Structure 1
Amino acid sequence: MEEVLNSIQIKQFIEGGFVRIDNAFPEEIAAAVRNILWKEMALDPNDPSTWQKPVIRLGMYSQPPFIQSANTPILHAAFNQLVGKDKWLPCRSMGTFPVRFPSAEDPGDTGWHVDASFGDNPANYLEWRVNWRSKNRGLLMLFLYSDIQENDAPTRIKVGSHLDIARLLKPEGERGMSILEMAAQFPSLPEREEILATGKAGTVYLCHPFLIHAAQPHSGKVPRFLAQPPLLLRDELMKEGQDDNYSPVEKAISLGIN
């Protein structure tokens, strides 16, 4: 499977910062993932009275259904198109899972942010950083393991905001900026259209690593299962003298800083 994204989708990724892939992995795999997570939480999927918190964060998972969902031929082909062949590492873990439940309680984690990609202190993620080369991270990915509609706490996305972040990061060089340093600059950035990452279970949003996004409270009826792993890099981006062969991720960075 050589190419799954057409030229219009590639252009949307470069300029808008994301592309949505429907049926990126089978619903059966999504259901298997949900079953594992329900058992992990020791909650009853059929009894809302057991859902006491607005969000439960679960740890790293590497069981077969998780790994299978991230390594379908469709996704591998898309990774090659967006990041470059042989420039990325296959996913071996889906990161943490914020399972969101219908609740009037503030989940306390709905601020706009850019995911960091490198740092020395694993105990304090807020100290982690991002630089203009997107060190370590090729993509931000949103894996929908349940059907997510507008009321089901879909991730909010600022369309085109990755271009603003590229422009913000370039003067900071290799050291880049921390999550909090970037967030402090958000009020000065251009207004951007907001969209919601909705879709059926099996949908994946492949996003530029600089894309500004945010969680939101759950006002629907069915718990939301979503993973947000990075696509890690095998080789660094934005190498000097290789601009004629830039991938769409790199072309977007170049568009933002020039």
Structure 2
Amino acid sequence: MEPALPAAAPLTQAQRDFFLERGYLKLQGCFTRAQAADATADVWTRLGMSATDRRTWTRERVHMPSHRTFDCATFAPRAWAAICELCGGEDRLDPASRQWRDSFIVNLGPPFPEQGEERDEEEGEERNGEPEPPHHRDLDNWHVDGDFFVHYLDSPEQALLVIPLFSDVLPRGGGATVLCPSALDAVARHLRAHPEGVSPRMATRAEGAEFARESSLAWYREVVRACTEGDGEGFVEATGRVGDVYLLHPLMVHSAGRNTRRAVRIITNPPVALREPFRFNRVDPAEHSLVERKTMMAATGPGDGIEALRGWKITMPRERLTPEPPELTLIVAATRSMGIGRRGGLPWTDLRKEMAYFARVTKRPAASDSARSAAAPPLNVVVMGRKTWDSIPPRFRPLRGRLNLVVSRSASTSSPPPEGPEGPVFVASLENALDYLTVPSDDHGISAHAPPSPRRVFVIGGAQIYAAALRLPGARRVLLTRVLEPEYECDVSFPLALADGGGSGWVRRSKEELDAWTGEAVPEGVQEEGETRYEFQMWEKTD
């Protein structure tokens, strides 16, 4: 039997002093292994992987949707007591902050290479049979949490970052979150200098009306490099045992670490928010919370002191950021007269090379201008109608390596969580499908605490779903397999005529542009499989 947990107690003076100096705390043994085992009991089922067969670990890092919640005050009372103390008391916290969810972030490490593939050289040097992880300074995922609001020095939306460990997390390549405490001052001073607010990526309003849409993490990478130049001890790995909980100042710059050991790492990021913004002008200075005191210390230089913030206030309204609707790519095979189906199925059969092209393109992540991310990109999305879903043989459902969204009139509009990272997720309309992808919610497997990564959204049929997609402004591209011969008899058509003569508001792109977008050298010219002759094309909207 595991020993009973110690009762919740106030932070020690040493802990308070450490938080004010370093901006984080590590609390050991806040919940038991038995509690963690119960909370994570169905993780492998939900992942669709085997705990004992690493060949099934096909994704490096997975943000899981939540299925249940538990009260932090009873699950981890020491952690909850510390959260309340750091933020100035439970009465200052949004009541929802007390609820933790099983929206686990599972880091499995890079998938094993397929047979015949070579190990990625970027994995680093070998260390006792394991690749040496890259230097922390070279991670490219550095950020501050909160991609759903415009940031101010006193923002209440992100009061604290909490990292409970639901597995042991090993040092040096165990996938631990990496902290850069020395960068906190730079973030705080940047926010102080911009009371008009900045984007989650620290872009200022002076950078244009679309400043809040800035996606580059370059600002953070530069700050981390500047703060740690010549300082090999400037980083902290959030390692520990099951039940340990890290509490981080909301402006703590951090990054996902590489799990080159391929040791299972399971954490969560329960959100903590305030009822009202932080205050730096309390009448009684003793009423300032530890988080407020740390912010004031970080935002002020040695020459002006914390009193300099008493007159600070925001100069623009607070804003929540709603992600832009995703760009939609329709992918379809159609005859010269745009026929796509007959009697509930495809008019043609055994186009294996064409189906392989479909699978490759819909699985492949978008190319990034930045260096390789420290985490695997999110799964691309395939959106289809219920009839298309039913037409897929059960052994191939859901389509592997992609999140499957199925539009069905009988589905609930509340978007229930998927069974695994590939779904399926049944939604009542195409609009509900897009809401599912854009609303920043842990319930959707899209962490509100992680920087966004590009994912491509493909509409794969049938005709009604294609028509609904074409009415949306996000429909910008059609990947068309033009079936040239024979002219198959069809009773269902694609709802857009694409002809080389133009005039439809769509233009056919070149072979080079098709290659660049798909990320492969697409076979050129007329392809033949059996009696069927076809050609791969890409069309884009011009207006």
Q: Which residue of 2 aligns with 1:99?
A: 106
Change (3 A) 1:204 1:58: same
Amino acid at match of 1:173: P
Pair 1:5-2:39 in alignment:
no
Structure 1 residues 71-126: Cα deviation after superposition (integer angstroms, max 9, x where no partner): 5221221122210111113332437432111326789x95100001643xxxxxxx
Aligned length: 246
Contact 1:62–1:92 (CA<8 Å) still a contact in 2? no
Contact 1:61–1:93 (CA<8 Å) still a contact in 2? no
Structure ranking higher on relative contact order (CA contacts 8 Å, 6+ apart): 1
Q: Which residue of 2 aligns with 1:79?
A: 83
Contact 1:143–1:202 (CA<8 Å) still a contact in 2? yes
* SS of the residue 1:77 aligns to: helix
Bigger Cα displacement from structure 2, 91-100 vs 198-207: 91-100
Change (3 A) 1:114 1:163: same
Amino acid at match of 1:185: W
Q: Which residue of 2 aligns with 1:256?
A: 298
Change (3 A) 1:234 1:117: farther
Contact 1:132–1:169 (CA<8 Å) still a contact in 2? yes
Distance 1:43 1:196 in 2: 27
Identity, % of aligned positions: 23
Change (3 A) 1:198 1:157: same
Pair 1:111-2:141 in alignment:
yes
Displacement of 1:242: 4.0
1:41-190 equivalences in 2 (<5 Å): 41-64=47-70, 67-68=71-72, 71-85=75-89, 86-88=91-93, 89=95, 90-94=97-101, 96-103=103-110, 111-116=141-146, 118-119=148-149, 129-150=150-171, 151-173=173-195, 175-179=197-201, 181=203, 183-186=217-220, 187-188=222-223, 189-190=226-227
Distance 1:2 1:74 in 2: 4
Q: Which residue of 1 aligns with 2:539?
A: none
Q: Give TM-score, length-normalised by structure 2.
A: 0.42
Q: Give TM-score, length-normalised by structure 1.
A: 0.84
* SS of the residue 1:179 aligns to: coil
Contact 2:164–2:245 (CA<8 Å) still a contact in 1? yes
* SS of the residue 1:240 aligns to: coil
Contact 2:73–2:98 (CA<8 Å) still a contact in 1? no
* SS of the residue 2:42 aligns to: helix
Q: Which residue of 2 aligns with 1:199?
A: 240
* SS of the residue 2:101 aligns to: coil
Structure 1 residues 44-81: Cα deviation after superposition (integer angstroms, max 9, x where no partner): 112212111111221134344xx458852212211222
* SS of the residue 1:19 aligns to: strand
Change (3 A) 1:118 1:87: farther
Distance 2:73 2:44 in 1: 18
From 256, 260, 263, the equivalent of 1:219 is 260
Q: Which residue of 1 aligns with 2:28?
A: 22
Distance 1:239 1:62 in 2: 36
Contact 2:177–2:257 (CA<8 Å) still a contact in 1? yes
Change (3 A) 1:241 1:91: closer
Structure 2: give runs of 5+ residues left out of the alignment. 1-6, 112-119, 124-138, 205-216, 301-543
Contact 1:97–1:225 (CA<8 Å) still a contact in 2? yes
Distance 1:135 1:117 in 2: 13
Distance 1:184 1:238 in 2: 30
Change (3 A) 1:148 1:30: same
Distance 1:37 1:236 in 2: 36
Contact 2:156–2:275 (CA<8 Å) still a contact in 1? no
Change (3 A) 1:99 1:175: same
Q: Which residue of 2 aligns with 1:235?
A: 276
Displacement of 1:130: 2.2
Change (3 A) 1:227 1:69: farther
Q: Which residue of 1 aligns with 2:210?
A: none
Structure 1: give runs of 5+ residues left out of the alignment. 120-128
* SS of the residue 1:160 aligns to: helix
Displacement of 1:219: 1.2
Amino acid at match of 1:190: C
Amino acid at match of 2:227: P
Q: Which has the larger radius of gyration?
A: 2
Distance 1:218 1:94 in 2: 23
The structure carrying a bigger helix percent of its residues is 1
Distance 1:95 1:237 in 2: 28
Q: Which residue of 2 aligns with 1:126?
A: none
